[in-house]
A = this chain, B = another copy of it.
Amino acid sequence: MATVQMVEYDEASARVRKVYDEIMATRGIDFVPNVWKTFASHPPTLERVWRELQDVMAPGRLDALTKEMIAIAVSATNGCEYCVWSHTAAARKLGLDDEMLGELMAVAGMFNQTNKLAQGYQIEVDELYRNVAKGPAKA
């Protein structure tokens, strides 16, 4: 269920099926998750978000589990129900256990608290932080 009619595989256009097939193959699943069946109500969104997601989640300097943990922290901060469940499921497949999730949530919870304290007291940025944050000058 969603605020649009989700597009089932059997009724999908060739354009949409192409993305559905790629999603199922890449993820190793035999069904199309609701998020993609919803985005398919607007094919350019289906194609764009799938493509961007592939780019952003591709192996790089951060490993896949770290990226999923960041996704959980962001989704918790935004209170997104669908996203918390789907990213937690994805992280479980990559090895996340209750202790790691506990530390992750503790850090996310703690900094939501200090974020609001800093904003509530309107604390001015220390000059040193500005200098250090930017990193060394480029050669």
Contact = CB atoms under 8 A, between A and B. Distances in A.
B42 A106 contact: yes
Contacts of A25: none
B77 A116 contact: yes
B5 A111 contact: no
Contacts of A103: 42, 60-62, 67
Interface string A98-119: 1111111111111111111111
Majority secondary structure, A binding face: helix
Given A70-B70, A106-B56, A82 B113 contact: no
Interface of A: 1-5, 11, 31, 33-35, 38-39, 41-42, 44-45, 48-49, 52-53, 55-57, 60-62, 66-67, 69-89, 92-93, 97-126, 128-130, 132-135, 137-138
23 contacts: A5-B98, A33-B129, A38-B123, A42-B103, A42-B105, A44-B55, A45-B102, A48-B52, A62-B103, A69-B70, A72-B120, A74-B77, A74-B112, A79-B119, A83-B115, A85-B129, A85-B130, A88-B133, A89-B132, A105-B117, A108-B117, A108-B120, A112-B113
